[in-house]
Structure 1
Amino acid sequence: MTSPPPTTARPRRVRAVGDRALLVECADLADVLALHAALTAASLPGLVDAVAAARTVLVRAADRASRDRIARALPDLPAARRHDAARGLVTIDTVYDGEDLAAVAALTGQSRDAVVAAHAGQVWRAAFGGFAPGFTYLLGAGLDVPRRASPRTVVPAGAVALAGEFSAVYPRASPGGWQLIGRTDAPLWDLERDPPALVRPGDGVRFRAVRERVAATGAPRRPAVGPAPESAGSPPPDLPYGALLVLAAGPLSLLEDLGRPGRADLGVSPSGAVDRGSARQANRLVGNDRSAAVVETVLGGLELRAHGTQVVAVSGAPAPLTVLDGDGEPRGHPPTDAPFALRDGEVLRLGTPPYGLRSYVALRGGLAVPPVLGSRSTDVLAGLGPAPLAAGTLLPVGAPPRAAVGLPEPGRVREGGLTRVTVLPGPRADWLTEGSLDRLGRREWVVTDRSNRVGLRLDGPPLVRAVETELPSEGAVAGAVQVPADGRPVLFLADHPVTGGYPVVAVVRDADLDALAQVRPGERVRLGLARQAAARHPGV
Structure 2
Amino acid sequence: MRILTASDHALLVEAADLDEAMRLNLAWEGVPGVVERIPGARTVLVRFDPLRVSAVELATALAAVDIDTAQLPDAGEAVVPVRYDGEDLDEAATLLGVSTEELVNRHLAADWRVAFSGFAPGFGYVVSSDPLFDVPRRSSPRTRVPAGSVALAGAFTGVYPRESPGGWQLIGRTDAVMWDIDRDPPALLAPGTSVRFEHVREVARPGVGRSDESGRNGDDAVRPGRVVEQHAETDADALGFRTEAAVEVVRPSLQLLVQDAGRPGFAALGVSASGAADRRALHDANRAVGNATEAAVLESVGGAVLRFRGAGVAAVTGAIGALSLTDVEGAVRSVAHGVPFATVDGDELTLGHPARGLRYVIAVRGGLEVAAALGSRAADTLAGLGPEALTAGAVIPVGGVASHPVEPDALPRELPAVVDLVELEITLGPRDDWFTAGALATLTAQEWTVTPRSDRVGIRLHGEVPLERARGGELPSEGAVTGAIQVPPDGQPVLFLPDHPLTGGYPIIGALTDRSLDLAGQLPPGVRLRFIVKETS
> What TM-score does the superposition give when structure 2 sets the normalisation length?
0.91
Aligned counterparts of 1:266 and 1:234: Cα–Cα separation in 2: 44
User: Which letter does structure 1 place at the counterpart of 2:346?
Assistant: G
**Kindly tell me: are residues 449 and 152 of structure 1, through their superposed partners in 2, closer, same or farther at Cα, counting changes over 3 Å?**
farther
1:47 has 2:34 as partner: yes
User: Which letter does structure 2 place at the counterpart of 1:105?
Assistant: A
Alignment of 1:309-388 (within 5 A): 309-327=311-329, 329-388=330-389
| Structure 1 unmatched ranges of 5 or more | 1-11, 534-540
**CA positional deviation for 1:473:** 0.9
Alignment of 1:56-67 (within 5 A): 56-63=43-50, 66-67=53-54
Give the SS at the match of 1:424. strand
Aligned counterparts of 1:344 and 1:86: Cα–Cα separation in 2: 56
Pairing partner for 1:484 from 483, 488, 497: 488
Q: For the Cα contact (< 8 Å) 1:30–1:82, is it kept in 2?
A: no
Q: Hey, what does 1:217 align to over in structure 2?
A: 210
User: Which letter does structure 1 place at the counterpart of 2:257?
Assistant: L
Aligned counterparts of 1:102 and 1:449: Cα–Cα separation in 2: 36
1:518 has 2:536 as partner: no
**CA positional deviation for 1:290:** 1.0
Q: Hey, what does 1:429 align to over in structure 2?
A: 432
Give the SS at the match of 1:211. coil
Q: For the Cα contact (< 8 Å) 1:21–1:67, is it kept in 2?
A: no
| Structure 2 unmatched ranges of 5 or more | 217-222
Aligned counterparts of 2:73 and 2:340: Cα–Cα separation in 1: 57
**CA positional deviation for 1:478:** 0.3
Q: Hey, what does 1:27 align to over in structure 2?
A: 16
**CA positional deviation for 1:455:** 0.7
1:82 has 2:86 as partner: no
Any runs of at least 4 consecutive aligned residues in structure 1 with deviations exceeding 4 A, and if so which?
none
Q: Hey, what does 1:234 align to over in structure 2?
A: 241
1:405 has 2:409 as partner: no
**CA positional deviation for 1:86:** 4.3
**CA positional deviation for 1:227:** 5.7
**CA positional deviation for 1:347:** 1.1
Aligned counterparts of 2:427 and 2:140: Cα–Cα separation in 1: 24
Q: Hey, what does 2:136 align to over in structure 1?
A: 146
1:290 has 2:290 as partner: no
User: Which letter does structure 1 place at the counterpart of 2:452?
Assistant: D
Q: Hey, what does 2:84 align to over in structure 1?
A: 96
Alignment of 1:86-165 (within 5 A): 86-140=74-128, 141=130, 142-165=132-155
User: Which letter does structure 2 place at the counterpart of 1:217?
Assistant: R
**Kindly tell me: are residues 268 and 85 of structure 1, through their superposed partners in 2, closer, same or farther at Cα, counting changes over 3 Å?**
closer
Q: Hey, what does 1:8 align to over in structure 2?
A: none
Q: Hey, what does 1:3 align to over in structure 2?
A: none
Q: Hey, what does 1:443 align to over in structure 2?
A: 446
**CA positional deviation for 1:150:** 4.3
- Per-residue CA distance 1:433-486 (angstroms, 9 max, x = gap): 111121122112222322110111222333221121221111110011111223
Q: For the Cα contact (< 8 Å) 1:20–1:64, is it kept in 2?
A: no
Q: Hey, what does 2:58 align to over in structure 1?
A: 70
Pairing partner for 2:184 from 190, 194, 219: 194
Aligned counterparts of 1:134 and 1:440: Cα–Cα separation in 2: 34
**CA positional deviation for 1:209:** 3.2
**Kindly tell me: are residues 332 and 361 of structure 1, through their superposed partners in 2, closer, same or farther at Cα, counting changes over 3 Å?**
same
> What TM-score does the superposition give when structure 1 sets the normalisation length?
0.90
Q: Hey, what does 1:270 align to over in structure 2?
A: 273
Give the SS at the match of 1:115. helix
Q: Hey, what does 2:27 align to over in structure 1?
A: 38
Q: Hey, what does 2:390 align to over in structure 1?
A: 389
Q: For the Cα contact (< 8 Å) 1:342–1:348, is it kept in 2?
A: no
Q: Hey, what does 2:175 align to over in structure 1?
A: 185
Q: For the Cα contact (< 8 Å) 1:294–1:366, is it kept in 2?
A: yes
Give the SS at the match of 2:441. helix
**CA positional deviation for 1:224:** 3.8
User: Which letter does structure 1 place at the counterpart of 2:106?
Assistant: A
Work out the percentage of aligned pairs sharing the same amino acid: 47
Aligned counterparts of 2:401 and 2:73: Cα–Cα separation in 1: 50
**CA positional deviation for 1:148:** 2.8
Aligned counterparts of 1:374 and 1:252: Cα–Cα separation in 2: 23
Give the SS at the match of 1:453. coil
User: Which letter does structure 1 place at the counterpart of 2:405?
Assistant: A
**Kindly tell me: are residues 447 and 399 of structure 1, through their superposed partners in 2, closer, same or farther at Cα, counting changes over 3 Å?**
same
- Per-residue CA distance 1:33-84 (angstroms, 9 max, x = gap): 22212222xx233321011221111111133653424223112323233334
Q: Hey, what does 2:2 align to over in structure 1?
A: 13
Q: Hey, what does 1:5 align to over in structure 2?
A: none
Aligned counterparts of 1:67 and 1:509: Cα–Cα separation in 2: 15
Q: Hey, what does 1:175 align to over in structure 2?
A: 165
User: Which letter does structure 2 place at the counterpart of 1:527?
Assistant: F
